[in-house]
Amino acid sequence: MAAGERGVRGAGRRVRPVAVRDSEPAVVSAFWKGIDVFRPIALAYAAYSLWDRPQDLVRPALAWTVLGILAVWTVFLVLYRRRRLSLVVVELLLGAGAILATRLVDSAASIEAGSRTLPTFWPAAGVVSAAVLFGRRGGLAASVLIGLVDLVEVGRATPNTINNIVLLLLIGTLIGYAVDLAREGHARLREAIALEAQVRERERLARTVHDGVLQTLAFINRRGAQLGGEAMQLGEMAADQERLLRALVSGATPDESASVVHGDVDLRQQLGRYAEGRVHLVAPADPVLVPPRVAGELVAAVGAALDNVRQHAGDDAQAWVLVEDEGETVALTVRDNGAGMPPGRLAEAAAAGRLGASSSIRGRLADLGGEAVYSGREGSGTTVTMRAPRTGAPGGGVA
């Protein structure tokens, strides 16, 4: 039996981590307390029943010894608060043994007449303990065990014995079912609390980001539009990043939101943002439809390739983005006429910590189940060919 509730300390406060084996529901703790109260009451009734019929006893000393053993166990469970499988098994065996001991302490005539068993109701505590610990399956198994022992003790199925067995079955299964429902509800409550904590943390981050980064990106966008030229392009890039960041702190990507309403998206339109100035887009006449998250990864990879063109190809370099629909796959080619790339340059850049090609491009394509291939030589421009399955990697993170 676990201790009291832990977890959330209050609304708006930091949430403590919840352990895998957290506290039990309050109703389960109440059942354990009820069993601890029931057990001595049942034992007291068994002692009264034994004292009230001395004429039926063949071995009274043995009868009182058996009740003494049950009394020791009852006190032990009151003091020892933990509940586990071994204790429940011992209690069921003690209850079954006490029932069978009735044949040793009672006369044959009293047993045939349907007299009470030696422990009377005390074995029911073991049945309820199994139900509370293991749910309805545990309660059913324990009640069947005690019921079979009752039949063995009486020798034949009397109406009184059948009634007792039916009551045990009802008690074990219904209490176990109630405990199962309580634990399921408690698990859902813990999930709701964890989700609420995540939402509050997301809201806190959203406020922080909104007050700083998002406002700065919005200002860059407005200022770039006012200045025009390359500043306008910088402002549009800031607007894209602002949109993506807003979606991130809200808990869903823009592409995921779009997929709910529109389904697949046209890759040509997604890449159209880059088609200006020295960047030329060459795309088929028909839409190239892909899932939103696939489009997002491909567009980000193309953006990283164009960033490399701006940084390394030269001030006068132009770039071409070719889109090809190959049926099951989609191919994107980014080619420039700039300074080119000497052999081994990609390995040197990755070793130096510049991850534009290895992570932003090749990593994204690998996540989609595709690949990115670089070609070119120094002084003759660079070509990046990216190819990925239209639906992303099977079983991967992309839907």
**How many angstroms separate the Cα of 38 from the Cα of each of 19, 135, 198?**
31, 19, 43
The per-residue pLDDT for range 14-45, each reduced to its tens digit, is 433 333 334 778 888 888 888 889 889 988 99
DSSP per residue, 160-213: HHHHHHHHHHHHHHHHHHHHHHHHHHHHHHHHHHHHHHHHHHHHHHHHHHIIII
Q: Is 103 exposed, middle or buried (0-12, 13-18, 19+ CB in 10 A)?
A: middle
- Give the chain's residues under pLDDT 70: 1-22, 113-114, 206-212, 214, 242-243, 245-263, 342-359, 393-399
243-274 burial: b if 16+ Cβ within 10 Å, else e: eebeeebeeeebbeebbeeeebbbbbebbebb
**CA 397 – CA 42 distance, rounded (Å):** 59
Q: Can you tell me the distance from the alpha carbon of 331 to that of 343, in angstroms, rounded to the nearest whole number?
A: 24
pLDDT, tens digit (0-9, with 9 covering 90-100), for 42-94:
889 989 888 888 777 788 888 899 899 999 998 998 888 778 888 889 999 99
Radius of gyration of the chain (CA): 37
Yes or no: say if 88 and 80 are a contact pair by the CB < 8 Å rule: no
Q: What is the pLDDT of residue 246?
A: 63
Outline where DSSP puts E strands in the chain.
265-266, 279-282, 289-290, 319-325, 329-336, 371-376, 382-389
pLDDT of residue 218: 72
Q: Which residues pair with 333 in a beta bridge?
A: 322, 385
Of the candidates 307, 375, 301, 310, the residue with the CA atom closest to the CA atom of residue 331: 301
